[in-house]
Amino acid sequence: MAEKLIVAGAKVFDGTEFIGKRDVVAVDGVITEITAAWTHTQKSAEAEGAEFVDGTGKTLTPGFIDCHVHVTTNGAGSLDAFTEPFSLKFFHAVENLRKTLHAGVTTARDAGGADAGVKAALAKGIIDGPRLRAAISIMSQTGGHGDGCMASGAQMPMLSGHPGAPNGVADGIEGVTRKAREILRAGADQIKICSTGGVLSPTDDPRHSQFTVAEIEAIVAEAETQGAYVMSHAQGTQGIRNALNAGVRSIEHGIFLDEETIQLFLEKDAFLVPTLQAPVAVITSAEAGAALPPAVVEKARMVAETHREAFKAAYAAGVKIAMGTDAGVGPHGENLEEIELMFSAGMTAQDALRAATVNAAELMGIETVGRVAEGMAADLVVFDGDLAATGLADLRNQVESVFFGGARKR
């Protein structure tokens, strides 16, 4: 017998706009019908053997898409990672993925850490979580943001590489081409590079550029030959420009933006994945006593306000923005805080929700998610209240139900 779900009478955000109250019907994980509100009743649903959700006073949205997570990482940058057993991170990932799904994120893009085994465990139903697109490793030049070699000579565990995830450090056209091929061979859906320094790497500066334009162009070309694309950790102005000029699809973080760089986003039709949550999470963790290197905390404080202002400027200019949290730097399961932060920085509720649904689906190239429409995956989130009226300031606490492929997960 077909599995059927009916959500009746909720106000619907369809991925693009609020369309008013509707009934949404899904069969075997796919949305099959959207009708006028209360075309269906609980009695009629029971007769059809369907699960019925009364949407009175509620909002229905597509399942959310987080374009920047690290599901095998907890407290990125913490010195505690040096004393933990190697395989513990994969067991942490089981809980992290569950929390992510229960938060309302039904599709996610891992930006380094999850390997083909994590993807296989999800696909086989061994563990519960969102559908996942993985970068596997983080590509970096020697001494760059993704180089885990510290001043002591110790290797940062998150970046050390293992049989399922090649160490991502490479230099020169030939070197980066070979490394990109190794990472794609390991099962990557997209390539993650670092074109600037970062906050969590203690020996470099977020404002400094990394990889040459020619090196990035070689990585982009290799990814495209395999049907993939490149996402770039990029915080400093010139490193953002280098990545955009070389053809990357999305800029992660984008902290030091200026007018010229924002215009380049528009010219290249590239996405910004701002991850406003990340520096906030570092500062919050440090204040709570986390074992973070002092240089990391100092850099997070340095960039936090600049980051927010850069986001506001990019949004005002019409740059395409997709939601990403950098979860793993902050706690997993708090993903919707990113939407709250975008809203508090001046994004309209409709645009903030669009960034986490249809925009994110476009960035990731997945045509079956991010919208409430016939033929789309029945990934749905029910919120208590009218989000169009109340705004998104308390979004995390309004999640009532989460459905993934038509199946209730919360």
- Domains annotated for the chain, with CATH where assigned, are 4-62+370-408 (2.30.40.10), 64-335 (3.20.20.140)
Read off the pLDDT of each residue in 358-383 and give the average, rounded to a whole number: 98
Burial of 269 (0-12, 13-18, 19+ CB in 10 A): exposed
CB distance 254 to 39 below 8 Å: no
The per-residue pLDDT for 78 is 66
Distances (CA, A) of 62 to 41, 105, 354: 22, 9, 10
Q: Tokens 């300031």, residue?
A: 393
What's the chain's length in residues? 410
pTM for the model: 0.96
Looking at residue 167, its pLDDT comes to: 95
Q: What local confidence, expressed as pLDDT, does residue 1 receive?
A: 55
Span 28-46, pLDDT tens digits? 999 999 999 999 999 999 9
- The answer to whether the CB of 104 falls within 8 A of the CB of 336 is yes
d(CA 129, CA 238): 37
Per-residue pLDDT for 407 more than 70? yes
List the beta strands (DSSP E) in 311-398: 320-321, 380-384
What average pLDDT does this structure show over 252-261? 97
Give the pLDDT band of residue 300 (cuts 50, 70, 90). Answer: confident
pLDDT tens figures, 98-122: 999 999 999 999 999 999 999 999 9
The pLDDT of residue 286: 76
Q: How far is CA 65 from CA 13, 195, 280, in A?
A: 15, 24, 20
Torsion angle, CA of 359/362/363/368, rounded to 10 degrees?
A: 110
Residue 196 to residue 4: CA distance in whole angstroms = 48
Joined tokens for residue 87: 């395989």
Q: Could you tell me what percent of the chain has a pLDDT over 70?
A: 97
> pLDDT-based confidence at 262, cuts 50/70/90?
very high
Task: Read off the pLDDT of residues 54-79 as tens digits, 9 standing for 90 and up.
Answer: 999 999 999 999 999 999 999 766 66
- Number of Cβ atoms within 10 Å of the Cβ of 263: 12
Indicate whether 250 pLDDT > 90: yes
Distance CA 274, CA 4 (A): 37
- Mean of per-residue pLDDT scores for the chain: 94
Buried b / exposed e over 43-55, threshold 16 CB at 10 Å, is: eebeeeebbbbbb
125 CB-contact burial (10 Å; exposed 0-12 / middle 13-18 / buried 19+): exposed
Q: How far apart are CA 315 and CA 297, in angstroms?
A: 27
Partners of 53 in the β-ladder: 7
Pairwise CA distance, residues 334 & 298, whole Å: 24
Q: 276-304 as b/e, with b when 16 or more CB fall inside 10 Å? A: bbbbbbbeebbeeebebbebbbebbebbb
pLDDT > 90? residue 340 = yes
Mean pLDDT across the stretch 153-173? 87
Q: Which residues contact 378 (CB under 8 A, 6 or more apart)?
A: 5, 26, 29, 30, 31, 403, 405, 406
CA 81 to chain centre: 23
Give the mean pLDDT of 306-334: 96
Question: Residue 209 corresponds to which tokens in the numbers above?
Answer: 């550029």
Residue 165 has pLDDT above 60, yes or no: yes
